[in-house]
Amino acid sequence: MSKAFWRRFCRNKGAVLGLLVLAVALVLVAVGPLLAPNDPWDMVQQPFLAPLQEAGFPMGTDTMGRDIFSGVVRGARISLLIAVVSTAVSLLIGVGIGAVAGYFGGWVDATLMRFTELFQAVPSFALAIVLVAIFQPSVGAIVAAIAIVSWPPVARLVRGEFLSLRQRDFVAAAQLAGLSTPRIILTQVLPNAASPIVVMASLMVATAILLESSLSFLGLGDPNQMSWGYMVGSARTVLRQAWWMAVFPGLAIVLTVLALNLVGEGLNDGLNARADGRSR
């Protein structure tokens, strides 16, 4: 990460804002228990307390008198954890399959891409629901389900990059120098495909948060973990009496996803060295 990268990144004001929002979210995850000492599952006050009505409950309470602020803070931890881990796993699968398919081409490529299309043919959210239902809802199962439904686009992107990079002369030169194939893939081709992968990863974290929230909204979240999606889901029935129950976790989701998208765009600018001096 060079100076030039930061200069280009910071030229995108939205990306800087997104980075700030993400930093706040991470601080919440780290020091959350100090700010919101209540257990999000405990009944600590009377139900349906409006925001700021009572000191110590800035976001009010829910149908059972649980502290919503504690829930949002605690939910940040589980939402971000699931999003980051599932993105990492799907990157591993996607980059691996895409790299092999794109580098070797031919029947290897054809086989792996048909396999990828198998996953792309099924609507991803429906597949995620089925997977979670089969495995029983738990953090592990949700991570696995999200990873399994979100790797195919990565594989296709990486394959495309590899197909074109494979033809470059520097790959031929590395072959002539006697470098082994895994070494060529890792040291010659992959670094050149890194920027689109990084940008895509930032957007995948955002979609993973949405997927996890949607699963929890449907009651398929981990029953032992407070998450944003579960909170929005449980507020559904009382939306007209207690708007704050849905609005605060919902805002948390919107802000985080928006921030990740902005950062993704900033990374795109920052990693694209050719954009230097042109446009913008």
Partner 1 sequence: MSALPHMGAQPAAAADAPVLAIDGLDIRLPAGADRALAVQGASLQLRAGQTLCVVGESGSGKSMIANAIMGLLPGPQVAPVAGRILFQGQDLLQLDEAGLRQLRGSRIGMVFQEPMTALNPVMRIGEQIGEVFDAHLRLPAAEKRQRILAALADVGLPDPALLIDSHPFRLSGGQRQRVMIACAMALEPALLICDEPTTALDVTTQAQILALIRGLQHRRGMAVLFITHDFGVVSEIADQVVVMQTGCIVEAGDVQQVLRAPRNAYTRQLIAAIPQGRARQPVGDAGAPLVLQVQDLCKTHVTGRGLFSRGRRVEAAKDVSFDLRQGQTLGLVGESGSGKSSVGRCLVGLSPFESGRILFKGRSLLSGGPLMRQSGGKIQMVFQDPNASLNPRQKVGAAIAAGPIAQGVPVHEAQARCRELLALVGLGAEAADRWPHEFSGGQRQRICIARALAMQPELLVADEPVSALDVSVQAQVLKLFAEVRQRFQLAMVFITHDLRVAGEMCDHIAVMQRGRVVEHGPAAEVLTNPRHAYTQALINAVPRLAA
**Count of Cβ atoms closer than 10 Å to residue 182 Cβ:** 10
The dihedral formed by the CA atoms of 224, 226, 227 and 230, expressed in degrees to the nearest 10? 80
Tell me how far, at minimum, the Cβ of 19 lies from partner 1, in Å. Answer: 24
Helix (H, G, I), strand (E, B) or coil at 28: helix
Q: What are phi and psi of 239, to 5 degrees?
A: -55, -35
Burial tier of 180 (Cβ tally within 10 Å: 0-12, 13-18, 19+): exposed
State the nearest-atom distance from the C-beta of 13 to partner 1, in Å: 19
Tell whether residue 54 is a contact of partner 1 (CB under 8 A). no
**259 contacts 11 by C-beta, under 8 angstroms:** no
Which token pair is 37?
Answer: 């000492």
Measured from the CB atom, the residue of 168 and 236 that comes closer to partner 1 is: 168
237 contributes a contact to partner 1 by CB under 8 A: no
273 forms part of the interface with partner 1 (CB under 8 A): yes
Instruction: In angstroms, give the least distance from the CB of 249 to partner 1.
Output: 41
- We find the least distance from the C-beta atom of residue 156 to partner 1, in angstroms, to be 21
On the 0-12 / 13-18 / 19+ scale of CB atoms within 10 A, 236 is exposed
Does 1 participate in binding partner 1 (rule CB under 8 A)?
no
The neighbouring-strand residues paired with 43 are 66
Pick the piece of the chain touching partner 1 (CB under 8 A) from 22-30, 34-42, 215-223, 270-278: 270-278
Name the one residue in this structure whose structure tokens are 């207690």. 242
CB half-sphere exposure, 215, CA atoms < 13 A = 37
Instruction: Using CB under 8 A, count the residues that bind partner 1.
Output: 23
Task: For residue 276, state whether it binds partner 1 (rule: CB under 8 A).
Answer: yes
Burial 139-161 (b: 16+ CB within 10 A, else e): bebbbbbbbbbbbbbbbbbbbeb
Least distance CB 163 / partner 1 (angstroms): 15
- Residues 127-156 contacting partner 1, CB under 8 A: none
Q: Of 167 and 240, which CB lies nearer to partner 1 in the complex structure? A: 167
Nearer to partner 1, 11 or 41 (CB): 11
Pair of tokens at residue 25: 């979210």
Considering only residues 162-201, where is the footprint of partner 1 by CB under 8 A?
168-170, 172-180, 183, 187-188, 191-192, 194
Minimum CB separation of residue 174 from partner 1 in Å reads 7
* Distance of closest approach, residue 179 Cβ to partner 1, in angstroms: 5
User: Residue 277 interacts with partner 1 (CB under 8 A)?
Assistant: yes
Residues binding partner 1 (CB under 8 A): 168-170, 172-180, 183, 187-188, 191-192, 194, 273, 276-279
